[in-house]
Amino acid sequence: MYHLIKTEGRARRGELVTPHGTVQTPAFMNVATCGAIKGAVSALDLKNLKCQVQLCNTYHLHLRPGDETVRKLGGLHRFTRWDGPILTDSGGFQVFSLAKLRNITEEGVTFASHIDGHRIFMGPEESMRIQSNLGSTIAMAFDECVENPAEYEYARASCDRTIRWLYRSKEEMDRLNSLPDTINRKQMLFGINQGSTYEDLRIDCMKKIRELNLDGYAIGGLAVGESAEDMYRIIEAVEPEMPKDRPRYLMGVGTPDNILESVARGVDLFDCVMPTRNARHGHVFTWEGRRNLFNAKYELDELPLDPGCDCPVCQNFSRAYLHHLFKSGEMLAMRLCVMHNIYFYNTLLERIRLSLDEGNFGQFSDQYKKELSQRI
């Protein structure tokens, strides 16, 4: 259930109530691909990093260790020791981006595992069963994510199929939630808006999927090859058609300025591998801009990564130490920088919420949009 607390322009301050706790929105969801944040950060660490929601990948967990195994172990919450809300994606994005030799039909997709090449079939029903076995808080409908740019006719046909797949996802989820031995019988389902960069397809899709009265709606198929301007144009086109009393999730986005621009256009939820992936390569976000720790200028720099950050890393370690750890190939370098970047992203969203509470989000956004992107 979503409560809209306050608005500023199109930006929304709200609360998403789930069976595993309430999420203050706008919120960032921290990506734990295979049930762990890449960079040796556990669910216990997340508690100290202001994380509200953990996101796990259906495709990866289906291949390893297998969703049946996770089910036998009590579901993702018990398995990973994260007791807050967990969102699982549908597997669709990875099937279309990672898997080899895929074949799409009305029924679903046959593909070869990127690990050992064995052939797997996944359609809406399979995706719902896997996510039900994982026992996540929020399941995502099975969709096709089309890369941009896409031909209009392909995007239209794909979008229509995604809508038919949504009906099947909903029916299967309702059935699974009615079974006595389902791990989370209150599993929520979000539908996904598709339609590439075509406003008419996006709007038509949204009008159709909102009729299903789902727990939330995502905008998918963005940040997959189009420009930031195209992304904002599509959000602006589709947002007025999205139900006001449901959370809106922009999938796979993005940089701090992408997030500020999208909050201003009415988005509530985000997820992105950028903070963790960048951190593993020595790139950290700070309130002054981005830093690359491989830079020789940090050799004797005893300041923390970000003097304005009160994360456990900045409270204890210097840039010089982290620079040394990266140069020496120590795993700790990744772990510490991933922790800092996660804390930074969750703090960014916290400060966005605070600015909305105080009615000065516009000012906050103007101040930080450029500052956070610049390399220093």
DSSP 57-120: -HHHHHHTT-HHHHHHTT-HHHHHT--S-EEE--SHHHHHHT-EEEEE-SS-EEEE-TTT--EE
- One-letter amino acid at 336 equals L
Q: Which of 44, 53, 21 is nearest to 349 (CA)?
A: 53
CB of 338 to Zn ion, least distance (A): 11
Distance of alpha carbon 81 from alpha carbon 188, whole angstroms: 20
CB of 314 to Zn ion, least distance (A): 3
Three-state DSSP class for 21?
strand
Contact present, 286 and 304 (Cβ < 8 Å):
no
CB of 362 to Zn ion, least distance (A): 27
Residue 27 interacting with Zn ion (CB under 5 A): no
Q: Between the CA of residue 175 and those of 89, 185, 364, what are the distances in Å? A: 19, 10, 45
Q: What is the CA radius of gyration of the chain?
A: 20
Residue 50 interacting with Zn ion (CB under 5 A): no
Using CB atoms within 10 Å of the CB of residue 369, give its burial: 0 to 12 exposed, 13 to 18 middle, 19+ buried.
middle
Using CB atoms within 10 Å of the CB of residue 126, give its burial: 0 to 12 exposed, 13 to 18 middle, 19+ buried.
buried
Stretch in the footprint of Zn ion (CB under 5 A) among 117-125, 156-164, 269-277, 312-320: 312-320
Question: For residues 234 and 314, which CB has a smaller minimum distance to Zn ion in the complex?
Answer: 314
Residue 20 interacting with Zn ion (CB under 5 A): no
Q: What are the structure tokens assigned to 60, written together?
A: 């990866």
Q: Please tell me which residue in 45, 143, 271, 306 is annotated as part of the active site.
A: 271
Stretch in the footprint of Zn ion (CB under 5 A) among 36-44, 225-233, 295-303, 332-340: 332-340
Contact present, 285 and 344 (Cβ < 8 Å):
yes
Contact present, 279 and 337 (Cβ < 8 Å):
yes
Three-state DSSP class for 179?
coil
Residue 322 interacting with Zn ion (CB under 5 A): no
Q: Please tell me which residue in 45, 89, 268, 306 is annotated as part of the active site.
A: 89
Stretch in the footprint of Zn ion (CB under 5 A) among 46-54, 124-132, 206-214, 314-322: 314-322
Number of shown-chain residues binding Zn ion (CB under 5 A): 5
- Give residues with Cβ within 8 angstroms of 129, minimum separation 6: 67, 172, 176
CB of 22 to Zn ion, least distance (A): 26
Question: For residues 7 and 318, which CB has a smaller minimum distance to Zn ion in the complex?
Answer: 318
Distance of alpha carbon 282 from alpha carbon 324, whole angstroms: 11
Q: Which of 3, 12, 27 is nearest to 269 (CA)?
A: 27
Distance of alpha carbon 101 from alpha carbon 150, whole angstroms: 19
What is the contact mask toward Zn ion in residues 255 to 294, using x (rule: CB under 5 A)?
----------------------------------------
Question: For residues 225 and 289, which CB has a smaller minimum distance to Zn ion in the complex?
Answer: 289
CB of 340 to Zn ion, least distance (A): 4
CB of 25 to Zn ion, least distance (A): 23
CB of 300 to Zn ion, least distance (A): 20
Q: What are the structure tokens assigned to 219, written together?
A: 């905008």
Residue 309 interacting with Zn ion (CB under 5 A): yes
**Is 83 considered catalytic here?**
no
Q: What are the structure tokens assigned to 77, written together?
A: 């919450």
CB of 306 to Zn ion, least distance (A): 5
Stretch in the footprint of Zn ion (CB under 5 A) among 62-70, 125-133, 335-343, 354-362: 335-343
Stretch in the footprint of Zn ion (CB under 5 A) among 53-61, 139-147, 263-271, 303-311: 303-311
What is the contact mask toward Zn ion in residues 338 to 357, using x (rule: CB under 5 A)?
--x-----------------
Contact present, 249 and 219 (Cβ < 8 Å):
yes
Chosen residue from 206, 219, 250, 314 binding Zn ion by CB under 5 A: 314
**Is 89 considered catalytic here?**
yes
Distance of alpha carbon 339 from alpha carbon 311, whole angstroms: 8
Chosen residue from 234, 311, 338, 349 binding Zn ion by CB under 5 A: 311
Question: For residues 155 and 314, which CB has a smaller minimum distance to Zn ion in the complex?
Answer: 314
Per CB under 5 A, residues contacting Zn ion are 309, 311, 313-314, 340
Q: Which residues are catalytic?
A: 89, 271
